[in-house]
């Protein structure tokens, strides 16, 4: 479903905008009417505007994620760094630990992907964010590695 609006926004809108703008320039040369120039520009800038808005949202989400997380009753188990690295400390409630890199992917909702360096393992965690201070990470899909949610420690950055 997402591919339909992506194709529309990033392929069809620019083509339509270019054609409207081309006809507007031709019409302007003949009649000095600017009626089609501005709609053509609007169609051309729609995808750029969307791209700017989405990149701003992604930057805000990355800033929210950085910090220390607790898991169940264990504090400071997962630490996400600003440099794109993370560290998952050993715990008795899950079987995987180590460090590696992280990135955010947005499908229909944001997902944090943890890439472990030692065993080349990848874990996906769904990002649940209600406000700046309340961020939690839960297992995505049928992955049973983590049974509890990672909850961000208050006032950690």
pLDDT tens by residue, 72-95: 888 888 999 999 999 998 877 777
pLDDT at 156 over 80: no
- For residues 22 and 114, what is the distance between their CA atoms, to the nearest angstrom? 47
Comparing 18-27, 114-123, 144-153, which segment has the lowest mean pLDDT? 144-153
Long-range CB contact pairs, 122-131, < 8 A, 24+ = 123/96, 125/150, 127/61, 127/65, 129/61, 129/64
Q: Which residues contact 157 (CB under 8 A, 6 or more apart)?
A: 66, 67
pLDDT band at residue 35, thresholds of 50, 70 and 90? confident
pLDDT at 57: 82
How much is the average pLDDT of 31-39? 89
- Residue pair 85/102 in contact (Cβ under 8 Å)? The answer is yes
- C-alpha distances (whole Å) from 130 to each of 8, 133, 135 are 30, 8, 7
Helix (H, G, I), strand (E, B) or coil at 94: coil
- Residue pair 85/114 in contact (Cβ under 8 Å)? The answer is no
- Residue pair 81/63 in contact (Cβ under 8 Å)? The answer is no
pLDDT at 157 over 60: no
């Amino acid at each position: 479903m997402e591919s339909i609006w992506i194709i529309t926004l990033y392929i069809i809108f620019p083509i339509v905008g270019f054609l409207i703008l081309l006809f507007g320039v031709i019409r302007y040369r003949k009649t000095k009417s600017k009626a089609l120039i501005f709609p053509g520009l609007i169609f051309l800038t729609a995808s750029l505007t969307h791209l700017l808005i989405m990149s701003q949202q992604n930057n805000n989400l990355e800033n929210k994620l950085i910090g220390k997380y607790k898991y169940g009753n264990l504090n400071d188990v997962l630490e996400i760094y600003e440099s794109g690295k993370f560290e998952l400390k050993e715990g008795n409630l899950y079987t995987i630990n180590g460090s590696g890199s992280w990135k955010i992917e947005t499908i229909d909702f944001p997902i944090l992907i943890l890439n472990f360096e030692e065993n080349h393992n990848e874990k996906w965690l769904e990002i649940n964010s209600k406000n700046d201070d309340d961020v939690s990470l839960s297992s995505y899909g049928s992955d049973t590695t983590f049974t509890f949610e990672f909850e961000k420690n208050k006032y950690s950055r």
